[in-house]
């Protein structure tokens, strides 16, 4: 894809999300807008895989990528995911996810960026090596794919090798990242929190209390400082 193609893609996804957001008022309507943005991302993935003849080696139960402790996402995706969990999980299942998410948050809170990148820890939503909230998962999880699961397995077994090659199809991953960013821009332009958050840490706070979502709806930062995604320290 050319630079112009990517810009057109980002703009199309931003405009579609913006149209959805414009008619939303209640939290559930924003969550629905987020899930529709995810659905558009799924459709783009299918189109790109067909266009580039990508052979995806991922399958239910491999789960290696779900052990990457550093998974960054945005507040609107976290709240849509939390809402999906509450609607589809039993009370006991919700409590179990909350407990695992809180354990995750405690484990990664004091890590540096490099330490976090080298950490192998199961996502709080991983059960029997499968995502238990697959339909509600955020964009970053939808973008992830591999043409050879052996590459993922090596990365899982060698977390200190930060230079290991990726198993994803480069053009597809770039296009999907740009498209997902376009949807995020629509929420940011609408006045919502622009911060990138650690998925597990933010999910723990979203499931524990309604206050983060209330702050988010007011246009304030949704989650705590410790839930923010680790970033490079300016040198």
The pTM of the full predicted model, rounded to 2 decimals, is 0.94
Q: Is 219 left (phi over 0), alpha (psi -120 to 50) or beta?
A: left
Range with lowest mean pLDDT among 40-54, 89-103, 113-127, 151-165: 151-165
What's the pLDDT at 19?
Answer: 97
What tens digit of pLDDT does each residue of 175-216 get?
999 999 999 999 999 999 999 999 999 999 999 999 999 999
Cα separation of 38 and 138, whole Å?
A: 7
Percentage with pLDDT > 70 across the chain: 98
Three-point CA angle 207, 208, 210, nearest 5°: 80
Q: Sign of torsion, CA 207 208 210 216? A: negative
Average pLDDT over residues 129-149: 93
Q: Is 129 left (phi over 0), alpha (psi -120 to 50) or beta?
A: left
What's the pLDDT at 106?
Answer: 96
Chain-centroid distance of CA 194 in Å reads: 14
Residue found by looking up tokens 């980002």 in the block? 10
What's the pLDDT at 161?
Answer: 82
């Amino acid at each position: 894809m050319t630079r112009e193609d990517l810009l057109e893609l980002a703009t199309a996804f931003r405009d579609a999300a913006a149209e959805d957001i414009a008619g939303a008022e209640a939290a559930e309507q924003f969550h629905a807008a987020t899930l529709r943005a995810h659905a558009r991302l799924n459709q783009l993935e299918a189109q790109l895989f067909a266009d580039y003849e990508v052979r995806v080696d991922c399958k239910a139960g491999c789960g290696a990528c779900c052990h990457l402790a550093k998974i960054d996402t945005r507040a609107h995706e976290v709240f849509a995911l939390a809402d999906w969990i509450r609607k589809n999980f039993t009370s006991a299942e919700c409590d179990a996810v909350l407990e695992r998410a809180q354990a995750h948050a405690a484990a990664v809170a004091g890590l540096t960026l490099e330490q976090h990148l080298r950490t192998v820890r199961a996502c709080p939503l991983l059960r029997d090596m499968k995502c238990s909230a697959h339909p509600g998962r955020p964009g970053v999880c939808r973008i992830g794919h591999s043409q050879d699961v052996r590459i993922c397995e090596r990365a899982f077994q060698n977390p200190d090798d930060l230079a290991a090659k990726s198993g994803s199809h480069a053009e597809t991953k770039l296009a999907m990242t740009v498209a997902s960013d376009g949807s995020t821009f629509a929420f940011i332009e609408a006045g919502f929190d622009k911060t990138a958050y650690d998925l597990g840490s933010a999910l723990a706070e979203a499931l524990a209390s309604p206050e983060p979502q209330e702050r988010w709806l007011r246009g304030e930062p949704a989650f705590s400082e410790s839930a923010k995604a680790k970033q490079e320290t300016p040198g």
